[in-house]
Amino acid sequence: MYHFLSVKTWVFVIWAILVSVALYARPLLPVDETRYAAVAWEMWLRSDFLVPHLNGELYSHKPPLLFWLMQLTWLLLGVNDWSLRLVSPLFALGTVYLTSAIARLLWPECKTVADMAPIMLLGSGFWIVFSTLTMFDMMLAFFVALGIYGLLKLADAGLTLPRWLLLGAAVGGGVLSKGPVVLLHLLPVALTAPWWHRELRPGSYWKRWYAGLAFSILLGAAIALCWALPAGMAGGEVYRNAIFWGQTQGRLVESFAHPLPWWWYAQFMPAVLLPWLLMKPIWQGLKTLNPKEAGLRFCAAWGVPLFIVFSAISGKRIHYLLPMFPLLVLVLARAAEQADERRSDWRHAHQGITASLALLGGVMAALPWTDAFQHRIAELAALSPLWGAGVLIVAGLLWRYRAKNAPESVFAVSTAIVISVLIISSAVFSVIGERFDTRPIGAQITEVLNQGKEVAYMGAVYHGEYIFTGRLTKPVKVFHFLPLLEEWMPEHPDDYLLMRFKRESDLPAQFPYYRHRYKNTYVAVVPIREFLAHPELKKILYY
């Protein structure tokens, strides 16, 4: 089957299946996806494309590129729930193709590396999970890959203005996607070019290299300032300080607000690199790699300083690794190619992965007959055993498959992993998807607001979960402290309270309200008049 289509075509087919199933199987996920959609929706309502807002207040936490592209899909296709969810996956697809192009530049004599790298990237569990989510990090991954490609073209084909412009565009796009963090990904490898460059160059060459690099950075800054300057003037002093301080130095400072130990990323590396670390030939190939090889020197210059810096910064999130994940896959693909040259046995390379899938499928199939999850996630006990049987069938087919070489093996494993992840995610969302669907509550809030009433929300933070899914045209009034809410309610007895509570039984069954499951809690739209008449309800407020 691997030979039926070209690698580029397979990449698109697998990506299209992944995205299509994700769009069908799950709703916009709170809190990040619903929040980003809410910001784009408010910009759309205001016809304000400079200053993002969330629930009527300035939103300075992220640059605007994602919000602009979401609105572009609405401009082309009308306002809907699905087209905005294509933006981030399209950047994931672009990153996959760029990874193949980078492999061709790093190892021009090894075509199979360029063929395997995109397939391995698509078949990596870590990449599959995040490639269908609406996140800024996938956009950043694309612009980092574009910048890396630009640097390699400069080193390989000469220092020309169009290639410096390409690098500047990557820097500018990265800044507009997630701020100046793009420079952390690109500057170390750009500055260490004399160490990884294939050929010895005179001093005049390096003067032009660093001058061109400075030009590209300034170009990227100019691109970002084309938005930041007018946005800062339009948004006022608070917003101006937030985007110029908060999204430059402040973004790094903010990361210290989530302290985690320096070894936090290292402990997750084995899981991040699944399923490839379960294949014996890849381990054999890794042992034979020559660290002095030009392509691997470039990978070291790209990844080692970056990993050290990311480990040193106390604020860590697993998806921060997305922009450097193509680098890891490139090294694995080079190891697989090396193992292929040494005629490793690929026929039995899938045993570890097959066993893992079989175990997972067996557990899923057995869930209906066990109450192990009854007390935590009761819905999983209602899962159809057919989902688990599907994973078992995939494991069986992979077990029977005898690959002749590395590309065939990589394709078979990637296909099996993608299908298995789709089955598992579809199964999970078929029983607990309702917990993450904010549309029913959003519709209730809209109905109340359309009656001219106000809706108050009590909570430390309001993420705007219902703004886009309810197509709200007015903000919800947010209270961060209970005494302030208690002062406000008697003056608004005809309005409503959007409240969260822990257990379904907390709210009396005869109470006039609309109630819905939300993650591990419940939310309800309650008339304030009724809430005031039952003071005991203050005790069940969850915030």
Q: Which among 180, 18, 175 has a CA at the least distance from the CA of 96?
A: 18
Q: Is 54 helix (H, G, I), strand (E, B) or coil?
A: strand
**What's CA 58's distance to the chain center, in Å?**
24
19-41 burial, b if ≥16 CB within 10 A, otherwise e? bebbbebbbbbbeebbbbbbbbb
* CA distances from residue 392 to 351, 358, 360 in whole angstroms, order as listed: 14, 5, 8
Task: Give the pLDDT of residue 458.
Answer: 85
Q: How many residues does the chain have?
A: 543
- Using CA atoms, how far apart are residues 62 and 134, in angstroms rounded to an integer? 13
Q: In sequence order, what are the beta bridge partners of 458?
A: 479
Q: Which amino acid is at 465?
A: E
Tokens (6 digits) for 10: 């397979």
Q: In sequence order, what are the beta bridge partners of 527?
A: 496
Residue stretches of the chain with pLDDT short of 50: 256
Tokens (6 digits) for 483: 């005494």
Q: Taking a C-beta distance cutoff of 8 angstroms, is the pair 147, 172 a contact?
A: no
Q: Which amino acid is at 416?
A: A
* CA distances from residue 310 to 125, 184, 201, 316, 324 in whole angstroms, order as listed: 22, 9, 31, 8, 11
* CA distances from residue 122 to 119, 182, 214, 340, 416 in whole angstroms, order as listed: 5, 23, 34, 20, 11
Q: Taking a C-beta distance cutoff of 8 angstroms, is the pair 326, 141 a contact?
A: yes
Task: Give the pLDDT of residue 252.
Answer: 54
Burial class (CB in 10 A: 0-12, 13-18, 19+), 299: buried
- Using CA atoms, how far apart are residues 304 and 440, in angstroms rounded to an integer? 47
Task: Give the pLDDT of residue 371.
Answer: 61
End-to-end CA, the chain = 53
Residue listed under structure tokens 């009396």:
508
**What's CA 421's distance to the chain center, in Å?**
16
**What's CA 539's distance to the chain center, in Å?**
37
146-171 burial, b if ≥16 CB within 10 A, otherwise e? bbbbbbbbbbeeeeeeebbebbbbbb
Q: Taking a C-beta distance cutoff of 8 angstroms, is the pair 455, 474 a contact?
A: no
Q: Which among 498, 492, 495, 482 has a CA at the least distance from the CA of 535?
A: 482
Tokens (6 digits) for 290: 């020559």
H helix or E strand, kind and range, residue 83: none
Beta-strand pair 53-54/57-58? antiparallel
Sheet holding 521-527, edge to edge: 477-479, 455-458, 496-501, 521-527, 514-518
Tokens (6 digits) for 394: 């995939």
- Using CA atoms, how far apart are residues 414 and 208, in angstroms rounded to an integer? 43
- Using CA atoms, how far apart are residues 297 and 303, in angstroms rounded to an integer? 10
Q: Taking a C-beta distance cutoff of 8 angstroms, is the pair 448, 496 a contact?
A: yes
Q: Is 477 helix (H, G, I), strand (E, B) or coil?
A: strand
DSSP readout, 184-196?
A: HHHHHHHHTHHHH
Task: Give the pLDDT of residue 443.
Answer: 92
Residue listed under structure tokens 């006039």:
512
Task: Give the pLDDT of residue 174.
Answer: 96
Task: Give the pLDDT of residue 506.
Answer: 80
- Using CA atoms, how far apart are residues 399 and 66, in angstroms rounded to an integer? 42
Q: Is 456 helix (H, G, I), strand (E, B) or coil?
A: strand
Burial class (CB in 10 A: 0-12, 13-18, 19+), 202: exposed
Task: Give the pLDDT of residue 256.
Answer: 47
Q: Taking a C-beta distance cutoff of 8 angstroms, is the pair 116, 10 a contact?
A: no
The DSSP code for 314 is: S
Q: Which among 142, 134, 152 has a CA at the least distance from the CA of 93?
A: 142
The DSSP code for 244 is: I
> Phi then psi for 496, rounded to 5 degrees?
-130, 155
- Using CA atoms, how far apart are residues 416 and 292, in angstroms rounded to an integer? 35
346-364 burial, b if ≥16 CB within 10 A, otherwise e? beebbeebbebbbebbeeb
Residue listed under structure tokens 């402040």:
250
Q: Which amino acid is at 300?
A: A
pLDDT digits (tens, 9 = 90+) for 137-164: 999 999 999 999 999 999 999 999 999 9
Q: Taking a C-beta distance cutoff of 8 angstroms, is the pair 459, 31 a contact?
A: no
